[in-house]
């Protein structure tokens, strides 16, 4: 019994290590408190469509007709102000004249969460 519990603990440890390692090092290494908090929001709410590195290649994002933009594309993202990003995330794509496949998060995220996830998005544009 003790042995079984011990091996279960080892399996759980390995599984969480694998999940952790599957997040690219570049993304794990984001600096700054806001961006780090934003990474947590991203993993929970955005990654499935926007992809681990925000390249628009999440498991669900790949299936969408309108692909999310590559957040590391500085030329593209620098044309969108923080206010516009805020609006897209708060009210969804449709309200911002974009695809309605981008959901609104006003019910799910606080303003602070949105500011943090914007800091995370900006941290990807090097």
Stretch that binds ligand HEC, among 7-15, 23-31, 87-95 (CB under 6 A): 87-95
Question: CB-based contacts of 111: which residues, under 8 Å, 6+ apart?
Answer: none
Whether 120 and 47 have beta carbons less than 8 Å apart is answered as: no
Stretch that binds ligand HEC, among 3-11, 12-20, 26-34, 91-99 (CB under 6 A): 91-99
Asked whether position 16 contacts ligand HEC by CB under 6 A, the answer is: no
Asked whether position 92 contacts ligand HEC by CB under 6 A, the answer is: no
- Minimal distance in Å, beta carbon 98 to ligand HEC? 3
Q: Distance of CA 83 to CAs 2, 7, 114, Å?
A: 56, 50, 11
Q: d(Cα 11, Cα 9) in Å, to the nearest integer?
A: 5
Q: d(Cα 11, Cα 106) in Å, to the nearest integer?
A: 38
Residues that bind ligand HEC (CB under 6 A): 41, 45-46, 48-50, 60, 64, 66, 68-69, 85, 88-89, 93, 98-99, 101-103, 105, 117
């Amino acid at each position: 019994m003790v042995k079984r519990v011990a091996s279960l603990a080892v399996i759980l440890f390995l599984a969480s290590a694998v999940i952790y390692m599957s997040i690219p090092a570049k993304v794990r290494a984001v600096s700054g408190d806001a961006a780090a908090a934003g990474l947590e929001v991203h993993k929970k709410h955005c990654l499935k469509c926007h992809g681990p590195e925000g390249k628009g290649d999440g498991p669900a994002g790949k299936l969408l007709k309108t692909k999310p933009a590559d957040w590391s594309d500085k030329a593209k993202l620098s044309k969108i102000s923080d206010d516009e990003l805020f609006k897209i995330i708060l009210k969804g794509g449709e309200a911002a004249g974009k695809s309605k496949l981008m959901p609104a998060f006003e019910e799910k995220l606080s303003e602070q969460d949105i500011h943090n996830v914007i800091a995370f998005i900006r941290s990807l544009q090097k």
